[in-house]
Structure 1
Amino acid sequence: MQLLALPALSDNYIWVLRDDDGGAVVVDPGQAGPVLEAATAGGFRPTAILLTHHHNDHIGGTAELQAHWPGLPVFAPHDDRIVCAATRVGDGARFTAGGYGFDVIAVPGHTTSHIAFHLADGRESLLFCGDTLFSLGCGRLFEGSAAQMHGALSRLAALPGTTRVCCGHEYTLSNAAFARVVEPDNPALQRRTEEAQAMRQAERPTLPSTIAQELACNPFLRCDQPAVIAAAAQRLGREPDGPVEVFAELRRWKDGFTA
């Protein structure tokens, strides 16, 4: 098993899970070109495409890949805005693609139909979460509510700590700038920031991270921690009414944040 993060557009990643026989599951191909180039250079052939949500920077290359490899199966959420031929999957579904077994987790918030794919085969735990969970951050609430997104993130946070988190964008350093304002005294966050800076300076992806790492550093997964609650309370001018309100205030704060 080989996991590849193919850069696409300005800051997207297309994830490729390649097996030892040259087959590969492709996740969120916003462009076809990076997949076609990597397939030629690396000698692999896509065996399935997984789509987390309908935004074009995650699905834009799907039709071209299906044309290049006729019959290529696609697994996607129940959403008419995804118009390609696909097997539609929802929360709790289990399916096999490219020889790998995936569980589907509904994660509404960024979009109402957003899903994540979790692979756990006893040796490896991988999460393909699109624009729901980012390293040190989370997606904007374009369609769903704060309660929905908080619930979605809580479900992802409950996965095994060793789960590798394969996000849709390279946002780690910009998220770190915000996270360090929320929790300036978090040593795990300081270490993660330094690690990410070194990775980007070496022109390497900062991803995947792990669930354990995000639980230690990501303020959006730490809405029950005293320092994060205190930061939200200072913004609100009062004590927040539970973790969902903490999350909602963090998300509003981040939406207008500039480093």
Structure 2
Amino acid sequence: MLKVTPIPAFNDNYIWLVSDNQSHHFVVDPGDADAVIAHLKQQQIALTGILITHHHFDHTGGIEKLQKHFNQALLVYGPDNENITGLTHPISSKIKQIELPLTRKPVEILHLPGHTLGHIAYQIESHLFCGDTLFNAGCGRLFEGTPEQMLASLNRIAALDDNTLLYPAHEYTLANLKFALTVEPDNQNLHKYHQDALQLRAQNRPTLPTMLGQQKAINPFLRSDSPSIWQHTASHFQQPIQDGQTCFTLLRQWKDNF
């Protein structure tokens, strides 16, 4: 049975520590090595490896220091088509599965261009570590990819089992919910979820992980076929919307300037 623990870093990052029942421990997107080392010392555990979703420095900045701290013994996985220094196991776009000592089952690799062109996610049993592609009630900015690529990537995630637990890399939930309520104010599931999230954050507790089925009910970027979202987006931009792709593209523009 896997155990997943958030290690807070910077202002709003989560570095996810994934552990098995034995002695294997991986961190996902360790931008801050010091935060990881402090947590590992407190728990008296040693790191086995690192999983990287994409090249941004707040996700990769701790690789070198962690590798040095553990005598260059760490397994470091990440996309091979991004500028990431320190990978020991580069993952090409052709690779769909990898083996990790965390689990006997193959780890599924989802290739999710959009936020960056080489962005990947790791599905370890029922846990999906999705980096900056899908957030709680939101999605990543399009720094390199196109709206078409990002929507296709989100649809790949949406095709997974509704009970999949999602582990984004940032605590952006309240800001995302404010936008979601603007574009779909008549969504009662969204209003209820907003109250729950407010309570969690008031207690300084993470709003993550979140279940995929829940996100399908409240995340506007997974709901670009919703007639209500079409209506509010069309009204905001003063233009007709006739398909989900157009709606998604405009939603992302709206959020960028929200």
Relative to the length of structure 1, the TM-score reads 0.94
Aligned residues: 253
Q: Distance in 2 between matches of 1:109 and 1:170?
A: 20
Map 1:102-251; keep pairs closer than 5 Å.
102-120=107-125, 125-251=126-252
Comparing 16-25 with 125-134, greater Cα deviation is found at 16-25
Q: CA RMSD in A?
A: 1.2
What's the offset of the Cα at 1:55? 0.2
Comparing 37-46 with 25-34, greater Cα deviation is found at 37-46
Q: Distance in 2 between matches of 1:135 and 1:80?
A: 25
Q: Which runs of 5+ in 1 are unaligned?
A: none
Q: Distance in 2 between matches of 1:167 and 1:192?
A: 17
What's the offset of the Cα at 1:119? 1.5
Report the equivalent of 1:83.
Answer: 85
Q: Distance in 2 between matches of 1:22 and 1:33?
A: 21
Q: Which among 92, 95, 100 is matched to residue 98 of structure 2?
A: 95
Comparing 49-58 with 29-38, greater Cα deviation is found at 29-38
Deviation >4 Å, runs of 4+? none
Q: Which runs of 5+ in 2 are unaligned?
A: none
Between the aligned residues of both structures, percent identity stands at: 41
Q: Distance in 2 between matches of 1:80 and 1:106?
A: 13
Comparing 65-74 with 145-154, greater Cα deviation is found at 65-74
Q: Deviations over 1:38-82 (max 9, x none)?
A: 111112222121000000000000111111112211110023510
Map 1:29-40; keep pairs closer than 5 Å.
29-40=30-41
The answer as to whether partners of 1:25 and 1:97 remain within 8 angstroms in 2 is: no
- Cα 1:90/1:234, change in 2 over 3 Å: farther
- Cα 1:80/1:180, change in 2 over 3 Å: closer
Q: Distance in 2 between matches of 1:29 and 1:97?
A: 18
Q: Distance in 2 between matches of 1:22 and 1:185?
A: 48
The answer as to whether partners of 1:127 and 1:166 remain within 8 angstroms in 2 is: yes
Q: Distance in 2 between matches of 1:5 and 1:74?
A: 19
2:236 match: secondary structure: helix
What's the offset of the Cα at 1:85? 3.2
The answer as to whether partners of 1:53 and 1:115 remain within 8 angstroms in 2 is: yes
What's the offset of the Cα at 1:14? 0.1
Amino acid at match of 2:208: L
Q: Which among 74, 77, 80 is matched to residue 76 of structure 2?
A: 74
Q: Distance in 2 between matches of 1:154 and 1:164?
A: 16
Amino acid at match of 2:96: A
Comparing 88-97 with 138-147, greater Cα deviation is found at 88-97
1:88 match: secondary structure: strand
